[in-house]
Structure 1
């Protein structure tokens, strides 16, 4: 048996997972929330030289808390880290969070790691008066969480740019013969190009499933100079580019196994974007395990397979997000 895309071809094909999104057209920014129904094992890997993250130290080996209540991805650079406050407010209302010892009158603390991308220079009115809009967007995204969600110019990818093209939010999934599902969601605001130079083919084309990002292929005689980056951003600035992502699986991973999958998933960025992990990129990926399917033996081989599928599914999500955004903006004929 071969792998297949999930029913929705979204990260929410992973059972027990929902996604909510919100954006502000005036500010040209947004927030995406990945919400497990129950606390999920989590890990994070950062490869870019200019990251902006929150609560990732909690995901390090040996930390007291090894599960999270949600993951957020946000526009807004460091302002966007405030999106977690809105997500935490929604979780508190739902009675969710971590308590070392339950006591009357002491609420549990929601655990909400996340990452941001830089969209402050991508247009829109950033001259907000007073408090930045991200906590409110985070709360709105939390409330909107469901099994389906928009791709392209939506959520944290609403104000993104991918090289010289519109960026956006993409997602994809794959189901293993054993019934384990791996899904990915990416918000793409990269310096590098997702398209091969001089073509309409995505770098991720070898991993495409059923024409999900247009089906374009490079010409048979395609060749390029090693330093031809194609439609990358012409004048990158420090901290102004990033692809942030979340990979999820229903396989029951330990924190250590989830960390290995996160490290393997990073290669999905390099399969879809060129160049990537630059000093001015903040590339980061989270991994969630909803623990619905026990890992069959042998564990190391299964973790390797899941990690490889995480990488290829993430590459598909990146290409799909940009392709959807290009279609919405008329950049795809």
Structure 2
């Protein structure tokens, strides 16, 4: 029987750590997913209003096949600067890509990133020419650990999920043959994570052990296809996004990681309705530490990994909102 890892966090994947940093006045923050060693990576973007960095480099036909970290940040376009702080810290450690070692020539850390929009959440954003995101990236890097909080932390501190508080969520799964998959998500969606007129998450069929409250839909529940429940009914362009990262210890090449990313996008639709709207910036990264070799025929193995990644992501999204709501109502 597959089960969550000991932390039920993406850091149950060996070789992965996460750091968070927040600016409580500005109500914004940054999350860094740090790999102990370079990892294979891919990206899939499904929202109509994305904000990303280095995603072109993750195509299967490009030269650089591995990354050092992934950054998820608040701040809209300003938040892309969080990756600058992470690059600086990694470069100072001598990490990064280089064709060969040359005296006096620094390596180039590869740090893809995605952002969500939290500029209109009421926080103090009058930062002039000094947005806080490079510093937040450095602080989140310094805070990297196997343990981290959920809900109103990191890139989720200023997020809103429909009419509810959004947040940072994470979940993991270990299969009976020893494969580990983890997900982390910053949930700031236009759509609702709850079934209309209930306290039940859309992701409830994938919940394990009551990890986001154990609520179930009423018997004989029906939902009008036009009923969106607690969605943001009057969205403004660019203000809604769920950004996420999947990690696995299965050895994937770039093309295989891309296929897993494409399949894992369905985790968004299992947890949020509606999703991938024109004003959502939904983006998903997949990283592979390569420590477990595929034993099944590749198409079958990839199908399995993609499906497990999707359900783990759905759980992470629900946990992010559940933990944020718990703190708001406490």
TM-score range, shorter chain: over 0.9
Matched residue, 1:304: 303
Q: How far apart, CA to CA, are the structure 2 residues paired with 1:214 and 1:164?
A: 18
| 1:188 maps to 2:187 | yes
Equivalent residue for 2:168?
169
CA distance in 2, matches of 1:299, 1:263: 16
Secondary structure of 2:316 counterpart: helix
Cα offset, 1:302, TM superposition: 1.1
Q: Runs of 4+ in structure 1 displaced over 3 angstroms?
A: none
Residue by residue over 1:43-65, the C-alpha shift from the partner in whole angstroms, topping out at 9 and shown as x without a partner, is 00000000000000000121010
Tell me, yes or no, if structure 1 residue 109 matches structure 2 residue 70: no
Deviation string 1:88-116 (CA, Å, 9 cap, x unpaired) is 01101211000012101101000000100
The alignment partner of 2:187 has SS state of: strand
Secondary structure class of the residue paired with 2:40: strand
What's 2:64 paired with? 65
| SS in structure 2 at match of 1:200 | coil
3-state SS of 1:317 partner: helix
Structural mapping, 1:278-289, within 5 Å: 278-289=277-288
| Equivalence for 1:251 | 250
Deviations 1:30-50 (A, max 9, x none): 000000100000000000000
Task: Please report how far the alpha carbon of residue 303 of structure 1 lies from its aligned counterpart in structure 2 after TM superposition.
Answer: 1.1
Q: SS of the residue aligned with 2:184? A: strand
Higher alpha-carbon deviation: 317-326 or 231-240: 231-240
Q: Distance in 2 between matches of 1:152 and 1:65?
A: 34
Q: What CA RMSD, in Å, does the superposition of the two structures yield over aligned residues?
A: 0.7
State the distance in 2 between where 1:35 and 1:295 align: 24
Partner in structure 2 of residue 13 of structure 1: 12
C-alpha separation in 1, matches of 2:161 and 2:180? 28
Q: What TM-score do the two structures reach when normalised by structure 1?
A: 0.98
Describe the SS at the equivalent of 2:323.
helix
- Residue in 2 aligned with 1:322? 321
2:50, 2:225 → 1: CA distance?
Answer: 27
Deviation at 1:296? 1.0
Q: Please list the CA deviations of residues 214-270 of structure 1 after superposition, one character each: whole Å capped at 9, or x if unmatched.
A: 000010021121010000012101111000000000001111110000000000000
More displaced stretch, 121-130 vs 272-281: 121-130
1:143 equivalent in structure 2: 142
Aligned to 1:266: 265
Determine if the alignment matches structure 1 residue 25 to structure 2 residue 29: no
Unaligned runs of 5+ in 1: none
Deviation at 1:176, TM superposition (A): 1.2
Q: Counterparts of 1:70 and 1:222 in 2: how far apart (Å)?
A: 43
270-279 vs 217-226, which moves further:
217-226
- SS of corresponding position for 2:37: coil
Query: Which secondary structure state, in structure 2, belongs to the residue aligned with residue 219 of structure 1?
Result: coil
Alignment of 1:176-255 (within 5 A): 176-255=175-254
- How far did residue 130 of structure 1 move? 2.1
Q: Distance in 1 between matches of 2:301 and 2:61?
A: 24
1:45 is aligned to 44
**Structure 1 residue 305: Cα displacement:** 0.6
- The whole-number CA distance in structure 2 between the counterparts of 1:77 and 1:123 is 15
- Runs (5+) with no aligned partner, structure 2: none
CA deviation digits over 1:6-44, x for unaligned, max 9? 111000000000000001000000000000100000000
Cα distance between partner residues in 2 of 1:42 and 1:247: 10
Structure 1: how far apart are the matches of 2:76 and 2:65?
26
Aligned-partner Cα distance in 2 for 1:71–1:195: 28
